[in-house]
Amino acid sequence: MPPLDVVFEALDRCRISVAQFITTLLTHQEYEDHRFVVDLFEHSNEVFNAFLRHPAGRDQFTQQSFGVVENTYLQELCCLASEDSGSHFRASNTSTEQLENFSLTAMAREMEAGAPRWWGLLGTLL
């Protein structure tokens, strides 16, 4: 019997799919420090690359990955644009002193700190 057949049979006996097994490992707090979870994170790059190399799911995995990345950028940009960020600008409430003290460099540093992934993409594109 090939080595993985034992694993497949165990999953079948437990009536759980491979996807359910991995999802459970990654979403239930009681498994947070389990050696299988630690192993998944230590080898996540290899796992992602295997998905990208697999012909049956390459396009779907790539599309889903882009969706995750887009959502990450969007969340960072929404935080930057929120009124709570401190960088909201209202021309009607801005004094001459505030305009004189404005620093594009300081604003860029705040943007880099508040949206590091988006800032990295921007740097790559420019």
pLDDT given for residue 30 in this prediction:
96
- Interval 70-93: pLDDT, tens: 999 999 999 888 777 666 666 777
Output b/e per residue, 72-97; b: 16+ Cβ within 10 A: eeeebeeebeeeeeeeeeeeeeeeee
- pTM for the full predicted model: 0.64
22 or 100, higher pLDDT: 22
For the chain, percent of residues with pLDDT exceeding 70: 93
Domain boundaries, the chain: 3-125
Q: Which residue has the higher pLDDT, 96 or 119?
A: 119
Please say if the pLDDT value at position 100 is more than 90. Answer: no
